[in-house]
A and B are shown apart, each in its own frame.
Chain A
Amino acid sequence: MRRAAAAVVVFLATFVALGFLAVPVLAIFTRVSPGRLVAQLGNPVVTDALAVSAKTTLAAQALVLAFGTPAAWMLASRRFRGRSLLVTLVELPLVLPPAVAGLGLLAAFGRTGLLHTSFPFTQTAVVLAVAFVASPLYVRAAIAAFEGVDENVVAASRTLGAGPVRTFFRVVLPLAAGGLGAGGALAFARGLGEFGATIMFAGSLRGVTQTLPLAVYAEFDVNFDVALAVSALLVLISAALLVTLKWLPSASTSRFRFATSS
């Protein structure tokens, strides 16, 4: 009797949790008919935002991979004083409110900031904001992936005469690829959705700094249908990224895992 009651409670809690997460996402698609949704996707506001988002998110992703991979390798393979402090520092943007990130970027890169750059209101600012909030997701996953690589295999490669660079590219990287890919995909998805830091640091100008999430915000009170269409587009892209992640065959070879879909 008690066990049955517990089962009912668990079932109900699960139902509420899943419903709570799924309903808002699905509701986006119920507010406007699919035909109108598709029609809105041809709206210049949407195509401009899509172009800005694609360009800035890809550029940010390139930066994240280029700088994040060596950093993660260093943090994973060396043990030194202050290492955990550095790891915490890397993870901090993950939990930081985006508005705080935006303010920090202004304080650092603003014209009146520490480094006196002229980045604000440019696409560079969008790229930096996206890289800032998205990189922790990649670096964290990459550290875990590198730590999961069997040290004996690395040692064997070195004993057999491969240099450290060759060993890194031919042994470590392929073994960590699943985790790196998963982290990269997550960082990309987070970057695509970046809003708060961008609007504070880069502003919002159609065709220049107005990314898809900024377009949702801008169109919310101008043309609700457009806001819905962009939102639907973002849901679909994000879902596609997550699905790809779970189907990625190599994702299961690393220690860094997500729940499998089957």
Chain B
Amino acid sequence: MIRIATINATLTIFAAASLTNVFPSIDPAQTYSFAGSNSLAAQIRQGAPADIFASANTSIPQQLYADGLVEKPVVFTRNALILIVPRSNPAHIHSVYDLRRSGIKLVVAAPGVPVGDYTRVVLHNLGLDDALQNVVSNESDVREVLAKVALGEADAGFVYTTDARTVKGRVATIGIRWSAQPIVQYAIAVVSASPNKAVARAWVKRLLRKPAQAKLLEAGFLRIK
């Protein structure tokens, strides 16, 4: 006889690539799929069997909510952007304004990927739109940007401050002034087509409580305003 595994079902959680380290540390028992939030949203639109969707912005889950694909999203954490360079700093970049120099290999995430959109906002706020001419690759998520800089192949890249902390020792960081930072809010929602909605809602609730929030802060994420 086949038993349908609804009891103690592990949740399938689709989460932004920047949550790769922190989510399993909050709850190692679930099944995670990490990628660019936009890729995950596209997969959910194509019917991927996710129970929960955690995005690195609020607009993508809001759009899915408007289309009836997820329940009402809630903001659960915040983040900020940072410029990273390889430890050896081959292009001698010491300030964001050095990104204007020609010949620099700047790696960013593609437009549509949350961190890619934030990166463009930061550059615009700093009056550095022309630095985009130095982009040598548009990556599909923040961890690809991180890997290419940590590997020393790219001269610089924009990631979240939390990502830079995961490769300590391999990259050097250059801060971005607060006035130029975009609002980086992460929203989470239960997927409408999930067969485990009650369990999923409880999981989201737990994420908003103190122990989980403490883990997020410990990983460098910012308190919800």
Could you tell me the distance in whole angstroms from the C-beta of A106 to the nearest C-beta in chain B? Answer: 7
30 example contacts (A-B, Cβ-Cβ < 8 A) are as follows A106-B151, A110-B152, A111-B90, A111-B153, A112-B151, A112-B152, A121-B107, A121-B136, A121-B137, A203-B107, A203-B136, A203-B137, A203-B139, A204-B110, A204-B140, A205-B136, A205-B137, A205-B138, A217-B140, A218-B140, A220-B42, A221-B36, A221-B38, A221-B39, A221-B112, A222-B38, A222-B110, A222-B111, A222-B112, A224-B42
Report yes or no: B138 in contact with A218, Cβ–Cβ below 8 A: yes
Instruction: Tally inter-chain residue pairs, CB-CB below 8 A.
Output: 54
**Nearest 3 A-B pairs (CB), nearest first?**
A203-B137, A221-B42, A121-B136
Closest residue to B147 on the A side, CB-wise? A200
Listed in ascending order, the chain B residues whose CB lies under 8 Å from chain A are: 36, 38-39, 41-42, 90, 105, 107, 110-112, 135-140, 148, 151-154
Closest residue to A107 on the B side, CB-wise? B151
Report yes or no: B137 in contact with A209, Cβ–Cβ below 8 A: yes
Complex interface: chain A residues within 8 A of B151 (CB): 106, 110, 112
Closest residue to A112 on the B side, CB-wise? B152
**Counting CB contacts under 8 A, is A120 at the interface?**
yes
Report yes or no: A110 in contact with B153, Cβ–Cβ below 8 A: yes
Listed in ascending order, the chain A residues whose CB lies under 8 Å from chain B are: 106, 110-112, 120-121, 202-206, 208-209, 217-218, 220-222, 224
Q: How far is the CA of A182 from the CA of B137 in the complex (A)?
A: 35
A-B contact sample (4 more), CB < 8 A, given A111-B152, A222-B111, A222-B112: A112-B151, A204-B138, A218-B110, A220-B42
Q: How far is the CA of A218 from the CA of B42 in the complex (A)?
A: 12
- Candidate in B39, B107, B135, B137 with the most chain A CB atoms within 10 angstroms: B137
Please pick, from B110, B138, B140, B153, the residue contacting A120 in the complex, using a CB distance under 8 A. Answer: B153
Report yes or no: B138 in contact with A221, Cβ–Cβ below 8 A: no
Determine chain A's interface SS by DSSP, over half rule: loop
- Candidate in B105, B137, B151, B153 with the most chain A CB atoms within 10 angstroms: B153
Could you tell me the distance in whole angstroms from the C-beta of A52 to the nearest C-beta in chain B? Answer: 13
Report yes or no: A205 in contact with B152, Cβ–Cβ below 8 A: no
Complex interface: chain A residues within 8 A of B148 (CB): 203
Complex interface: chain A residues within 8 A of B154 (CB): 121
Could you tell me the distance in whole angstroms from the C-beta of A179 to the nearest C-beta in chain B? Answer: 38
Closest residue to B136 on the A side, CB-wise? A121
Q: How far is the CA of A172 from the CA of B90 in the complex (A)?
A: 51
Q: How far is the CA of A220 from the CA of B40 in the complex (A)?
A: 11
Closest residue to B43 on the A side, CB-wise? A221
Report yes or no: B153 in contact with A205, Cβ–Cβ below 8 A: no
Report yes or no: B153 in contact with A206, Cβ–Cβ below 8 A: no
Q: How far is the CA of A57 from the CA of B135 in the complex (A)?
A: 23
Q: How far is the CA of A216 from the CA of B85 in the complex (A)?
A: 30
Q: How far is the CA of A112 from the CA of B138 in the complex (A)?
A: 21
Complex interface: chain A residues within 8 A of B105 (CB): 121
Q: How far is the CA of A230 from the CA of B148 in the complex (A)?
A: 27
Please pick, from A205, A222, A224, the residue contacting B135 in the complex, using a CB distance under 8 A. Answer: A205
